[in-house]
Amino acid sequence: MKIFFAMILAWLLVFGCEKNPASLSPSPAKLILTTDRNSYSQKDSVHITLKNLSGRNIILGYRCSFENLEMHYQKRVDNAWSKNLWFDYLSWKCPTIMKEYKSGVTVRHSISASEFKTSGTFRLLVPCSFSATDSTVVAVSNPFEIH
């Protein structure tokens, strides 16, 4: 009996999680993340636009309310990008709210430049999930400066 259950478990592990690699996610280029400008002061707001040209619906996460898009940022240090850095609101102890956006929709969001806590060159990273394939692609913005 133990051998039978071990064989079933092995079969599920080998074949149950198999996915077609070609259908995991669309090209990240089909999710276009941009900022409205290339330079900001600490008093400005960074206006973000995410265009979904993937042909599929995407799901975005928001922390606590629709005011706080779940995203990370990276800072350019010595001509290389840092590891993913967190905005303070990502540590808040409250649920993530999921919202689905249809294909072809443009999502707009704003964040205060003071949330970056320092000056420098940055870029934003927004995880976009596709419920149809249970996969996630990270949309990466253009670089921008905060001084």
Q: Average pLDDT of 84-110?
A: 92
Q: Where in the sequence is the domain holding 120, given as residue range(s)? A: 23-146
Q: 16: left (phi > 0), else alpha (psi -120 to 50), else beta?
A: alpha
Q: Is residue 8 part of a domain?
A: no
Q: What is the pLDDT of residues 36-89, one digit of tens each?
A: 999 999 999 999 999 999 899 999 999 999 999 999 999 999 999 999 999 988
Q: Is residue 92 part of a domain?
A: yes
Number of domains the chain is built from: 1
Q: How many angstroms separate the most distant Cα atoms in the chain?
A: 68
Of the chain, the percentage scoring pLDDT greater than 90 comes to 64
CATH number at residue 29: 2.60.40.10
The residue with tokens 């990008």 is 81
Q: Is residue 94 part of a domain?
A: yes
Regarding predicted confidence, which is higher, 8 or 136? 136
pLDDT score at 86: 92
d(CA 47, CA 32): 14
Q: Is residue 13 part of a domain?
A: no
Handedness of CA 32, 33, 34, 39 (dihedral sign): negative
d(CA 61, CA 11): 34
Q: What is the pLDDT of residues 19-43, one digit of tens each?
A: 433 333 344 659 999 999 999 999 9
